[in-house]
Amino acid sequence: MKLTTKGRYAVTAMLDLALHAGQGPVSLADISTRQEISLSYLEQLFSRLRRHKLVGSVRGPGGGYRLSRSADDIYVAQVVDAVSESLDTTRCGNKGDCQNGEKCLTHHLWSDLSDQIHQFLSEISLGDLMRKREIRQVADRQNRKQSGDGPDAVNTQRLTDQAPA
């Protein structure tokens, strides 16, 4: 089973949002910079996440997005489901017509695997991920890089000076 880019990016962006929730609304531009995900792609994903009531938007200066509820109450499977990402591992889209219109020999095996993956992701909340030391370390590195502190920092002033007027 391979989770495609849409599901991966949605989970990554939601985790970033959860990690920065204490700072008020988070802009998609900030998530885009930290996670190196296209801003237009994030806009599409967050439109779906908002429709599924996983995030809320705040307009105006200092606006952005925030989680609609506690990170402990938002599960990875909900995020993947919200962006219409299939976790199906069958060749037939679980229709059972994988071999000349009928179920193949291993259809039930792959169907059961899809169910197991969905169940696994249904038991992991954004809060669970936030508490992982490894994830906090990566987030700290990304924050340093974005703010211009530390060895991973980019000299944003130099880039601004070189930008065309």
* CATH classification of the domain holding 11: 1.10.10.10
User: How far apart, in Å, do the first and last CA atoms of the chain sit?
Assistant: 48
Burial 146-160 (b: 16+ CB within 10 A, else e): eeeeeeeeeeeeeee
Please check whether residue 92 lies inside any domain of the structure: no
Rounded to an integer, the average pLDDT of 65-86 is 92
In a domain, 15, yes or no: yes
109: left (phi over 0), alpha (psi -120 to 50) or beta: alpha
Over residues 77-98, the mean pLDDT reads 81
Taking each helix axis from N to C end, the angle separating 39-51 and 5-19, rounded to the nearest 10 degrees, works out to 80
Task: Evaluate if residue 2 carries a pLDDT over 70.
Answer: no
Digit-coded pLDDT (tens) for 131-163: 999 999 999 999 998 877 655 444 433 333 333
Tokens of 133: 């030391």
Instruction: Give the pLDDT score at 94.
Output: 73
φ, ψ of residue 49 to 5 degrees: the values are: -65, -35
> How far apart (Å, rounded) are the C-alpha atoms in residues 53 and 15?
16
pLDDT reported for residue 4: 78
Residue 151 lies in a domain: no
pLDDT category at 101 given cuts 50, 70, 90 is confident
pLDDT of 149 reads: 67
Q: Which of 114, 80, 112 is nearest to 4 (CA)?
A: 80
Token digits for 10?
């949605």
Total domain count for the chain? 1
In a domain, 153, yes or no: no
pLDDT > 70? residue 108: yes
In a domain, 113, yes or no: no
The answer to whether position 57 is within a domain reads yes
Q: What is the mean pLDDT of residues 80-105?
A: 80
Structural contact between residues 64 and 58, judged by C-beta atoms closer than 8 angstroms: yes
Does residue 72 sit within a domain? yes
Alpha carbon distance 146, 129 (integer Å):
21
Tell me what pLDDT residue 38 has. 96
**Chain Cα centroid distance, residue 98:** 31
Domain containing 40 equals 5-85+125-131
